[in-house]
A and B are shown apart, each in its own frame.
Chain A
């Protein structure tokens, strides 16, 4: 069984030390597209957590049986199956959000984070660890999405989760609604996070980077 300390280490690594978006610069494409509204970002995040966790779990379960030369095709097959499953379920349960996300649900399949976790972790670790690794990697991605979507929705539409908070009637910024805004924000976030991380290292001294 997996130890508590291990879970903690996995959590910290995926959310901070090796955050998929901020440190590994993966999943940027979907981030640019869906972060103009908080609600879309939340669903995209949930979709990714679901897909990456279950894909990693399945790939890890089968890791000793998957023939090496067709490894990546099999991984893609498993990922695609879970994503299509998610697509069907939200089409039935959350039709409005399914419509808002449109083709991006299908494109979760090509989100580099899933393939990245499959190759880097699930391929060589037991199922439970892989599942948790997937959940945490997805959470790391979702956390960044939420921060950026919060700023973009607030400044671009003057709303939070669709509720109007622009009480003063201030002018909203069209640029915040458009993908370039996500580029600026994610750039600033990477800069801040890198600064904090490297600052910590300098103070901490003996940590291997």
Chain B
């Protein structure tokens, strides 16, 4: 009986249904927490690339410090100075890493001539190798890199790729350069 086709099929179906239900219920239950965690990571990344720091009290006051701006690029944020003019912008960073999507934000000065920082909100690179793109020393190297129209950022001269993770390092650079190139048309409208 146990080895009959019918039993095998019914057993497999029932068991799959039971486990799928357990997982679905658990996920649905935790979804608000997971969404909130992801939003927190997102907000922290935005604050960090704008050079504001991401301590708990700053995170809570997120809306007071930065404001979303309509820039043709969704989820763009800006910090405004006392005179009401933007001081810096945070633009989303999207692209393909070695193994999966890499998402994050870059901070750019209002004049579009200086990279203020880079943070990742999602990356699936190999932990211990490509995953090291998320380590502070790597990301901090990009602070203060000048942005020159028509010129791509390259490794070397104070900007190091990660040993043993060439593909992930290059993927990050490629995404960064593509994102910056994509900002070129905005420079006319928003830059000053």
Chain B positions 70-91 with a Cβ under 8 Å from a chain A Cβ: none
Chain B residue at minimal CB-CB distance from A32:
B128
Asked whether any CB of chain B lies closer than 8 Å to the CB of A68, the reply is yes
Please tell me which one of the listed residues B2, B126, B134 contacts residue A65 in the complex, with CB atoms under 8 A apart: B2
Contact partners of B27 in chain A: CB under 8 A: 88
Q: Are B26 and A34 in contact (CB under 8 A)?
A: no
Instruction: Please tell me which stretch of B9-17, B50-58, B138-146, B174-182 contacts chain A, meaning at least 4 of its Cβ atoms lie within 8 angstroms of it.
Output: B9-17
Chain A 17-53 interface 0/1 with B at a Cβ cutoff of 8 Å (1 = within): 0000000000000001111110010000000000000
Instruction: Please tell me which stretch of B29-37, B151-159, B183-191 contacts chain A, meaning at least 4 of its Cβ atoms lie within 8 angstroms of it.
Output: B29-37
Q: A33-B126, A102-B125, A103-B99 are in contact. Are A68 and B3 (CB under 8 A)?
A: yes
Q: Are A73 and B3 in contact (CB under 8 A)?
A: no
Nearest Cβ in chain B — how far from A35, in angstroms?
8
Chain B positions 10-50 with a Cβ under 8 Å from a chain A Cβ: 11-12, 15-16, 19, 22-23, 26-27, 30, 33-34, 37-38, 40-41
A55 to B32, CA, bound (A): 27
Contact partners of A88 in chain B: CB under 8 A: 23, 26-27, 30, 34
Q: Are B124 and A84 in contact (CB under 8 A)?
A: no
Q: Are A77 and B16 in contact (CB under 8 A)?
A: yes
| A contacts with B, residue count (CB < 8 A) | 37
Q: Are A73 and B12 in contact (CB under 8 A)?
A: yes
Nearest Cβ in chain B — how far from A31, in angstroms?
10
Q: Are A67 and B34 in contact (CB under 8 A)?
A: no
Secondary structure type dominating chain B contacts:
helix
Instruction: Please tell me which stretch of A93-101, A120-128, A201-209 contacts chain B, meaning at least 4 of its Cβ atoms lie within 8 angstroms of it.
Output: A93-101
Nearest Cβ in chain A — how far from B104, in angstroms?
12
Q: Are B19 and A78 in contact (CB under 8 A)?
A: yes
Please tell me which one of the listed residues A66, A84, A102 contacts residue B131 in the complex, with CB atoms under 8 A apart: A102
Contact partners of A89 in chain B: CB under 8 A: 26, 30
Nearest Cβ in chain A — how far from B39, in angstroms?
11
A88 to B22, CA, bound (A): 12
Q: Are B37 and A95 in contact (CB under 8 A)?
A: yes
A87 to B125, CA, bound (A): 17
Chain A positions 63-114 with a Cβ under 8 Å from a chain B Cβ: 65-70, 73-74, 77-78, 81, 84-85, 88-89, 91-93, 95, 99-104
Please tell me which one of the listed residues A67, A73, A85, A100 contacts residue B7 in the complex, with CB atoms under 8 A apart: A67
Q: Are A102 and B8 in contact (CB under 8 A)?
A: no
Contact partners of B2 in chain A: CB under 8 A: 65, 67-68
Nearest Cβ in chain B — how far from A101, in angstroms?
6
Nearest Cβ in chain A — how far from B58, in angstroms?
17
Chain B residue at minimal CB-CB distance from A36:
B128
* Most chain A beta-carbon neighbours within 10 Å: one of B2, B125, B127, B129: B127
Asked whether any CB of chain A lies closer than 8 Å to the CB of B164, the reply is yes
Chain B 110-140 interface 0/1 with A at a Cβ cutoff of 8 Å (1 = within): 0000000000000111111101101000000
Q: Are B127 and A40 in contact (CB under 8 A)?
A: yes
A93 to B41, CA, bound (A): 14
Asked whether any CB of chain A lies closer than 8 Å to the CB of B68, the reply is no
Q: A174-B163, A179-B128, A179-B164 are in contact. Are A81 and B19 (CB under 8 A)?
A: yes
Q: A66-B11, A67-B3, A92-B37 are in contact. Are A101 and B26 (CB under 8 A)?
A: no
Asked whether any CB of chain B lies closer than 8 Å to the CB of A178, the reply is yes
Taking A73-B12, A103-B100, A179-B164 as given, write out 4 further A-B residue pairs in contact, using a Cβ cutoff of 8 Å, ordered by the A residue number: A65-B2, A67-B8, A103-B126, A178-B164
Shortest Cβ-Cβ A-B pairs, 3 listed: A81-B19, A95-B37, A92-B30
